[in-house]
Structure 1
Amino acid sequence: LRQVAPLADGGLAGEAGMLAGEIELRRGNPSVAAAELISTARRLVPDHRRLAATTLMLAGEASFVAGDNARYCAMAQDAARIRAFDELPATRVVLEHFAAMSATFSGRHHDAAEPLRRVVDLGDATLDPSAKTLASQAAFTLGEAPRARTLAVQAVTSARARGELAEVPWSMIYVAMSEMLSGQLATATATSLEALQLAESLGQSNSAVDHLTVLAMLAALQGDQETAGLRLAAASAGYVERGLSRPGALGTWAAACVDLAHDRPAEALDRFRRMSLGQSRHCSPIRVMAVPHFVEAAVRCGEREAAYGALTAFERWATTTGGASRIALAHRCRALLAEHEGEAEEHFTEAMRLHRESDSPHDLAGTEMLYAARLRRNRRPKQAREVLREAVQIFDELGARHWVDRAWRELRACGHPGPPGRAPAEAATPRGRGRPGGVGDLSPQQEQIAALVAEGATNREIAARLYISHRTVDHHLRNIFAKLDIRSRVELTKLYR
């Protein structure tokens, strides 16, 4: 590209500038990338509008990663200047996306809703992988997890078919995030691990950091402190050195979730407050999505005023663009803040109904845990037991061992005898032990571990590859052997031949 620069002009020079900016975005400093890409896009506007729109799209992504909302909103004005009704769907997606996300970043959620829906609809009308990724991001912002996942998977499929592998790790961010929003934590983990390995093979170190922080968040939601810590440690140098504000904010949220899961609400609250400092304060979408966990930490620390203030902004977003799953979380927050039992019960009941309606099992089980704790404090152990029994089953199906154990402790505190003579997580498992099974019975992460064992990888090699601890690999292998009714790695390898 350096050799091309003095020889090219017009569209070719613009394409070279766009590629140089994208390289900087994927492995360098996103703020530098944004500046280069904006300059290139403005030179392209008069004669090469489609190329200018693509370049602006990359500049927008760079500004988003850097947490520079002001620059993003300024680019929305550039996008407005090149808008025309006769543009192809892929170009119109970019232009509408700027209008929608600049309104979102500015807190004008009501103004964002209609452009976001137009972006989603336009994404269905194009085969362009980048346009489909933007449409997936819009659907995710609207809280429409299934549609967000469908569009992101289409983006990945289209990029692979075109031989544009460089697009795939970016698209897979929204595959994984939409799976996480739906509570498919094991599937999301497998998606992000695959994307992480591809990003590393392509030299896209910033994309790798993005996926590492998503993986940390997934571990945090399962209460897996050790795995979340390993993944955050692997990501942190990247987002500190290169100014990656978006993954930095997500990493802070993940660490706060670990603190909440292990009864450290004051530490969680401190982390959330640090999200309001430095560049992380500009990552408004992540800060807004984190509000339900912030409210939980604030209520547990007696900081009710701070919780009310944050919840007001979250409710404004959830009711306009957030979807049923996020409205459910708003009701959960209202229940935690309610002073009268009738009001709390009403909000908890509505939250659980909406969790079921939006098919968000992890959030449902989390709400049930909080509701049961309140019922137990108010001396209603029988009702608490009924709620907790479902929570145990959901957490077990999701493979969230920490939360299974914690739910069993709550059950015992409510007078349930508990699982006699066995560890809580084992007793909660509905599957019989020792029954013959098939490889198809394994969870996505168990399938990955089993396949690596079959390839000859040691437990330590598997742990390094999947960013999990050696003990976690041991635990998964014991469950794999039990599900498949086998006793050794040799037998497991035979199943994969």
Structure 2
Amino acid sequence: MLRGRDDDRRIVDDLLDGARAGRSGVLVVHGDPGIGKTALLGHLAERATGLRILRSTGVETEAELPFAALHQLLRPVLTSVSVLPEPQSNALKGALGLAGSAGEDRFLIGLATLSLLSETAEEGPLVCLVDDAHWLDQSSAEALLFAARRLDAEGIVLVFATRDGFRSPGLPELRLGPLDAEAASALLSERAPDLPEGIRARILAESGGNPLALIELPRTTDAHSPLPLPGRIQEAYGARLADLPHGARLMILLAAAETAGDLGVILRAGATLGIGAEALGVAERSGFLSLTATAVSFVHPLMRAAAFHAGTFDQRFAVHGALAEALHDQEDRQAWHLAAVALGPDERAAAALERSAERARERHGHAAAATALERAAELTADRSLLARRLTEAAVAAADAGSPDRAQGLAERAAHLVDDPRSVARLAELRARVAFERGSVHTAHDLLVSGAEQVADLDPVAAGLMLVDAGRNAWQLSDPGRVAEAAALLRSLRLGPEDGLDTAVHAVAAAAESLNLGPARALSGMRPLVEDARRIRRGSYGLRINGAFVAGLVGDFAAQREISAAVVEECRTSGVTGLLPVAYVTLASAELYQGRFRSALADASEGLRIASDIGQPHRTGYLEGILAWVAAVEGDDARCAELAVRCADHFAATGIANGLAWAQWASAMLDLSRGRHTQALDRLEDALAGPVRHQIQAVYFGADQVEAAVRAGQPDRAKEPLARFAEWATAAGCDWSDAVLLRCRALVEGGEEHFTAALRLHGPGERPMERARTELLYGEWLRRERRKREARTHLRSALEIFHRLGARPWADRAGAELRAAGEATTPSAAPDRLADLSPQELQIVRLAVTGLTNKEIGARLFVSPKTVSYHLYRAFPKLGVSSRIELARLDLGEY
């Protein structure tokens, strides 16, 4: 019976009620050792009548075994893995050691976990309980947290119980406090009814309402120990252990060291030590161990720690040796026991750990691989072998998302290596860590230094490092560093057979763009776009770079075509890690093309994935795009909030692209509201900083011109007009020629510029720009007292702004139309998509293509039930009641 905790019980009971109603719920229960986390999970399990329950418990010494906890949780339902989409099924089987690993993206394993839980919940609500989550292996924790953040409408309850140290940002939390006086007194009376009053009062005072202390402290003869509470409880367990026979104590120590709880292994190891099965019976009757036909577990996790530390050195040494012998058919576990009995350099144990690390990396257990390799290095005497193992440990730590650990390992390795290739590899690794930490300048310099070290021995490796250096410098808007990388690349004299032609040209074009202006780089950049368009599958990095360059040359149709294909391929192939940057290029193209709702949906999805998989450098760019959408929609508060976030990202990393979008977005909001001087000041301030080297500085030149003319300061329009004219002349795009003519009409006057601009604006190519030209022309005609003609253009502008959801611009066009003599301005036609959330829009767009819920879920990293739930919510907003009706809808292009 769970004493007290009325509020806590209501919270978990509500989770169960939600699951029975088809809603999912997640909770992370925090608390000190012994505070009642496990008991609360037990209460939840008791209340889950008729629901299926899956359990897993983190074990401290299993934290180095990749996916150990996930396998424990999913083992009862693994027969259903075969019904998952093939990429997910293969990824999960490989991770759990049920099949060979094909090197799938580690977050595909998280999606497979979500899909398997959802599939299991098809038969009824499901409860997943994860105890001691602070001891989960990192691979299991990543997969379970990925799934937890995407639970929605499956009828699944997922509860983690943990001490402090388990990071679960964004998930609901509950912190358990001590029992109140009444509940503590009742629990103590129940467990120790015959305590003398003085001892009873002392235990109630000293336990601090900790339930485990109330249960265990009465069993110890020393109620005045000065130890902190967990230590006192452990001391109490130690006192109980001391009263047991030697064989039972040794069997409990074996169980503490054999973390998998494999009864057969423990019995074999016990036989090696001369201990029979009867000792297990004594251990069970003592209340330390719980036995089933195949497994051994501790009644409470603190008992395991107490048992292990109560053993003497020689006993622990003997136990690890016996377990190493008993685990001859389980190499990963055996390797750690071999390491535990190594008293100095031991190549057998080190090699076993290295092989274990390789298997862990194949299953995406990078944190476990780093730990195994670091321990292997400690057991290594040979200097070159030691350097290699430390280097590999550093790489694995970086892959696991632990930059500080990777940095420390790399520095240790750097003192041991002297050959150029190893030096260059460590430089590349340290650059990667510096980039992840936000030190992009340092990352660039490390890459250049490493490339110089290896240039003569391996020009291709040097070239790859310099391409990365050039890309980093571009993001920093640092012309000098980009030029440095470009010059070094040229000096390598790489040939077409080296496969770096396109990348070398990209860095050279970037250098020209930053140093000589973007117009000078256009001719060198266009071939990169065509190269990317010709590639139909694979080569993701090259295609994403091609899409990015398409945005620099003004070919937004190509940018959208390439990036949409990459997004789709990454979705279907499970290449999650590249999706955020692919969404960056896709959402940018959609924004330029006036597809604001699509940009909102795709940038939101990219931001969600970037946050989940730990790519903070992508979030600033995506939030900048979202700020621009908020500006065009007239959401002042949201635009300002996102602009501040982008400024914070820039302050932390020095990467300027997100800042460029955010500063432009704030100015656009001012421009749409008629705050022309403020808009002009913002854009000029942006040009005084690193944004001047970004392509946005070219594109917002037209907005500067409009703001300057409307503010009555035409002299401030000269520079931006010249800047945009130079680029537009070199680009030769119809849309840019049209915008240039609009700018000339504002600055120079002359109706012919407006009419020529409207002839060039393609039907739907960049509708926002056409609408702005119509609006400005209409305003000009009204001032010329040609109101009838003005109304034609103002109506056209108003209709486009309404269709795009550009509310401030629509308000401005409506006001102009009324001023031009329109008695009543037409209201916006009902917008079927306006009320859809970004996720609903994503799902609807895929559903109209005929994909099933399971296929949509696999693409968007949600469960099929969540897809069904969002479609159910979207149907009435769209005025349909079935997929058949949905397929007939014209959802438009925006």
Pick from 557, 581, 586 the counterpart of residue 170 of structure 1: 581
Larger RCO (CA within 8 A; separation ≥ 6):
1
The equivalent of 1:448 in structure 2 is 839
The equivalent of 2:723 in structure 1 is 313
The equivalent of 1:436 in structure 2 is none
The equivalent of 2:828 in structure 1 is 428
1:229-261 CA-to-partner distances (Å, cap 9, x unmatched) read 222133222212332333223321111111111
Partner Cα separation in structure 2 for residue 266 and residue 245 of structure 1? 24
Change (3 A) 1:25 1:87: farther
Partner Cα separation in structure 1 for residue 757 and residue 634 of structure 2? 22
For the residue of structure 1 that corresponds to 2:823, the secondary structure is coil
Pick from 53, 56, 80 the counterpart of residue 463 of structure 2: 53
The equivalent of 1:62 in structure 2 is 472
Query: Higher mean Cα deviation, 210-219 or 403-412?
Result: 403-412
Q: Which has the larger radius of gyration?
A: 2
Partner Cα separation in structure 2 for residue 383 and residue 64 of structure 1? 47
Partner Cα separation in structure 2 for residue 445 and residue 351 of structure 1? 34
TM (norm. structure 2) is: 0.46
For the residue of structure 2 that corresponds to 1:84, the secondary structure is coil
The equivalent of 2:512 in structure 1 is 103
Pick from 383, 388, 403 the counterpart of residue 789 of structure 2: 383
Which ranges in structure 2 are unaligned for 5 or more consecutive residues? 1-393, 395-405, 844-872, 882-894
Pick from 772, 791, 799 the counterpart of residue 366 of structure 1: 772
The equivalent of 1:334 in structure 2 is 744
The equivalent of 1:121 in structure 2 is 530
The equivalent of 2:679 in structure 1 is 268
Partner Cα separation in structure 1 for residue 528 and residue 711 of structure 2? 41
Counting only pairs closer than 5 Å after superposition, residues 125-144 of structure 1 correspond to structure 2 as: 125-126=534-535, 127-144=538-555
Question: Does the CA contact (< 8 Å) of 1:136 and 1:151 recur in 2?
Answer: yes
Give the Å deviation of 1:292: 0.5
Change (3 A) 1:337 1:110: closer
Give the Å deviation of 1:159: 5.1
- Which of structure 1's runs of 4+ aligned residues deviate more than 6 A? none
Partner Cα separation in structure 2 for residue 75 and residue 177 of structure 1? 27
1:73 matched to 2:483? yes
Partner Cα separation in structure 1 for residue 604 and residue 710 of structure 2? 34
Pick from 92, 116, 121 the counterpart of residue 501 of structure 2: 92
Pick from 643, 658, 679 the counterpart of residue 232 of structure 1: 643
For the residue of structure 1 that corresponds to 2:824, the secondary structure is coil
Change (3 A) 1:107 1:445: farther
Give the Å deviation of 1:447: 5.3
Give the Å deviation of 1:446: 3.5
Counting only pairs closer than 5 Å after superposition, residues 152-231 of structure 1 correspond to structure 2 as: 152-157=563-568, 164-231=575-642
For the residue of structure 1 that corresponds to 2:474, the secondary structure is helix
Give the Å deviation of 1:207: 1.0
1:484 matched to 2:879? yes
Higher helix share: 1
The CA RMSD measured in Å over matched residues stands at 2.9
Partner Cα separation in structure 2 for residue 153 and residue 318 of structure 1? 26
Give the Å deviation of 1:175: 1.1
Question: Does the CA contact (< 8 Å) of 1:292 and 1:333 recur in 2?
Answer: yes
Partner Cα separation in structure 2 for residue 27 and residue 444 of structure 1? 39
Residue identity matched to 1:442: L
Residue identity matched to 1:429: A
Change (3 A) 1:111 1:447: closer
Partner Cα separation in structure 2 for residue 107 and residue 218 of structure 1? 31
The equivalent of 1:494 in structure 2 is none
- Count of aligned pairs: 441
Question: Does the CA contact (< 8 Å) of 2:601 and 2:841 recur in 1?
Answer: no
Residue identity matched to 2:718: Y
1:286 matched to 2:681? no
Give the Å deviation of 1:450: 7.5
Identity %: 29
Question: Does the CA contact (< 8 Å) of 2:768 and 2:801 recur in 1?
Answer: yes
1:112-131 CA-to-partner distances (Å, cap 9, x unmatched) read 23321221222245532111
Give the Å deviation of 1:36: 2.2
Change (3 A) 1:451 1:22: same
Change (3 A) 1:55 1:399: same
1:375-394 CA-to-partner distances (Å, cap 9, x unmatched) read 11111111111011111221
For the residue of structure 1 that corresponds to 2:733, the secondary structure is helix
1:388-441 CA-to-partner distances (Å, cap 9, x unmatched) read 11112211221222322322222111111225xxxx6xx22156xxxxxxxxx5
The equivalent of 2:752 in structure 1 is 346
Query: Higher mean Cα deviation, 203-212 or 5-14?
Result: 5-14
Partner Cα separation in structure 2 for residue 108 and residue 231 of structure 1? 29
Question: Does the CA contact (< 8 Å) of 2:657 and 2:694 recur in 1?
Answer: no
Partner Cα separation in structure 2 for residue 169 and residue 51 of structure 1? 26
1:151-178 CA-to-partner distances (Å, cap 9, x unmatched) read 2234445556776533332232211111
Give the Å deviation of 1:217: 1.5
Which ranges in structure 1 are unaligned for 5 or more consecutive residues? 432-440, 453-477, 487-497
Question: Does the CA contact (< 8 Å) of 2:663 and 2:682 recur in 1?
Answer: yes
1:112 matched to 2:512? no
For the residue of structure 1 that corresponds to 2:481, the secondary structure is helix
Change (3 A) 1:77 1:481: same
Partner Cα separation in structure 2 for residue 162 and residue 483 of structure 1? 31
1:300-328 CA-to-partner distances (Å, cap 9, x unmatched) read 12222231222112111111136222222
For the residue of structure 2 that corresponds to 1:428, the secondary structure is coil
1:258-297 CA-to-partner distances (Å, cap 9, x unmatched) read 111111111111111212324334x242222210011111
1:401 matched to 2:811? no
Query: Higher mean Cα deviation, 402-411 or 198-207?
Result: 402-411
For the residue of structure 1 that corresponds to 2:762, the secondary structure is helix
Change (3 A) 1:26 1:128: farther
Partner Cα separation in structure 1 for residue 459 and residue 764 of structure 2? 40
Question: Does the CA contact (< 8 Å) of 1:27 and 1:206 recur in 2?
Answer: no
Partner Cα separation in structure 2 for residue 168 and residue 13 of structure 1? 32
Partner Cα separation in structure 2 for residue 161 and residue 20 of structure 1? 33
